[in-house]
Chains A and B, each alone.
Chain A
Amino acid sequence: MDIPRGQIVAFMGPSGVGKTTVLRLISGQLQPDSGTIEVDGLLVSGMDRRQLHDYRRRIGVLLQNGALFTDLTVFENIATPVREHSRLPEPLVRRLVLSKLHSVGLGGTEDLMPHSLSGGMARRVALARAVVMDPAIVLYDEPMTGLDPIAMSTVRRLMRETNDTLGLTSVVVTHNVEQMKHLVDYCYILVEGRIAGEGPPEQLSASEDLSVDQFMNGRVEGPIPFHYLPADSGWSLLDPDH
């Protein structure tokens, strides 16, 4: 797989296929059994703790639920990576955090606690935190899950604007086909541990590959099975101990 600089690339596929695993491989949380992960000329697979630390300062990650620090205010959440990795004076930290907060449309929420935010607002705060250090790459893990349609569109627009304005490269892991059709430049469809299809979303919607067609168009019937075990596994409801 290749992810071109400056693009938004999505990894899509049914639940449990290993989309988040790809993200964890890129972020260095997991090491591949075989193959290599290379980001901007750096070999991620095989990095030691110190190298990973330096590498992660150059990436931003938005996790599935936002993963905001629940004991810190919105301001402190966004300021945490800045204070940790820079020696900026406090007035400058404040200015930087507030400008990022304003860029995601949440100016004035800096003193709120995460529990008082809606799901969409929490995701936007997490996005501000992910890009506050001006990373080269932003990784999104299911950024739309659990959001209402308006919040989804807002987050989608912010992802596009952030990517283009800051000149980032974005990697999105999702199974939300409709939202991705309007957002991403390129898609990889993962099915049963393999790349079943790749290309721009509109091209994949018309794919002749049965797995890709089933996933992109949400069909029940197709090669992606409904049952956990294959039909020839021998398991039967009449004799489950077989």
Chain B
Amino acid sequence: MFARENWVRAVMSPFVQTGQCGLFMLRMLAGLRFSSEQLRNTLQQVYLIGARSLVIIMICGFFVGMVLALQAINALEQFGASDQVSLLVGKSLFRELGPVLTALLFAGRAGTSIAAEIGLMKATSQIDAMELMAIDPVQRVALPRFLAGVISMPLLTGMFNAMAILGAVVFSIGVMEMDAGIFWSKLQHGVYFGQDYMGGVWKSLVFGGLVSLIAVFFGSTAKPTGSGVATATTNTVVLSSVLILIFDFIMTSFFT
């Protein structure tokens, strides 16, 4: 009897959590006021979770661009089409790799930080203190972090893409001594702003919302203990990563 109840609970748990997460998001968005206080908190979080993720995003972007160029040149050389490398790198970056890899890095760098911070605030009674001061922690703590995630992700993706193109330039032109004019003209004429670049921007907006929603939700519902915070942090990374890839497929199918 108990085993059956546990089994039912295990099956229902993801649906229940999805519902709770949805309600949590509605409660957050209901508090959107565009007040100067909210704007200030959000900008502060954009700095903390966005600007402070820049270094890791830029380093990773540069090396992803280099390795993409390397693999593309190796593969295209077999068909005598290695001059198309910028086209391949540009399209794959702007459409897929830029937004997805930035989101995965953001989940690891900023998502964990948000979940752990809110979880620790619970463990140290800071959330209790807020409630007792008649301050809604969902509006004061969760909403600015959620908005900062949505704002930061497209900007970080743009920076990742720029650094990846730089990496591809360094490898293709600097190391493989390709013609710079061909590299840039293929990129300029083969990659479209609306179709390729903006497709990635829309994706990054969704990923930003997804990762920061999961992070603030798990942080806010974490048990106020050391292991509770650890579980919230782990769940944030795991679930964010899986959902980024699932949503990427759904959105790619939709846009295509």
Interface residues of A (CB under 8 A from B): 27, 29, 52-54, 56-57, 59, 61, 63-65, 67-71, 80-81, 83-85, 129
Contact = CB atoms under 8 A, between A and B. Distances in A.
Contact of B131 (A29, A54, A64): A29
Contacts of A71: 117
Interface string B120-153: 0100111011011111100010000000000000
Give the size category of B's interface with A.
10 to 19
A69 B122 CA distance: 11
Given A61-B129, A63-B129, A83-B37, A70 B134 contact: no
B128 A67 contact: yes
A137 to B, nearest CB: 12
Contact of B125 (A56, A65, A85, A129): A65
Interface in B18-71: 37
Nearest to B117: A71
Contacts of B121: 69-70
Contact of A56 (B37, B124, B126, B134): B134
6 tightest Cβ-Cβ pairs between the two chains A and B: A67-B129, A56-B134, A67-B125, A61-B132, A81-B133, A57-B134
Contacts of B134: 52-54, 56-57, 81, 84-85
Given A67-B129, A71-B117, A83-B37, 7 more contacts: A27-B132, A56-B131, A61-B129, A63-B129, A67-B128, A68-B129, A70-B124
Nearest to B37: A83
Nearest to A83: B37
Contacts of A129: 133
Most chain B beta-carbon contacts within 10 A, residue among A29, A54, A63: A63
B135 A80 contact: yes
A65 B135 contact: no
Interface of B: 37, 117, 121, 124-126, 128-129, 131-136, 140
A70 B121 CA distance: 8
Contacts of B136: 53
B128 A56 contact: no
Q: Which of B125, B129, B131, B136 has the most CB of A within 10 A?
A: B129
B126 A81 contact: no
B37 to A, nearest CB: 6
B128 A81 contact: no
Contacts of B126: 67-70
B128 A29 contact: yes
A201 to B, nearest CB: 27
A81 B134 CA distance: 8
B217 to A, nearest CB: 20
A64 to B, nearest CB: 7
Contact of B135 (A52, A67, A81): A81
Contacts of A69: 121, 126, 129
Contact of B133 (A64, A70, A80): A80
24 contacts: A27-B132, A29-B128, A54-B134, A56-B131, A59-B132, A61-B129, A61-B132, A61-B133, A63-B128, A63-B132, A64-B125, A65-B125, A67-B128, A67-B129, A68-B126, A69-B129, A71-B117, A80-B135, A81-B133, A81-B134, A84-B134, A84-B140, A85-B134, A129-B133
Contacts of B135: 80-81, 84
B129 A56 contact: no
Contacts of A59: 132
Nearest to B48: A71
A67 B20 CA distance: 27
A113 to B, nearest CB: 14
Contacts of B132: 27, 29, 56, 59, 61, 63
Contacts of B117: 71
A63 B133 contact: no
A81 B140 CA distance: 11
Nearest to B40: A83
A129 B121 CA distance: 17
Contacts of A65: 124-125
Contacts of B37: 83-84
Query: Chain A CB within 10 Å — which of B37, B117, B134, B140 has the most?
Result: B134
A18 to B, nearest CB: 17
A17 to B, nearest CB: 20
A57 B134 CA distance: 6
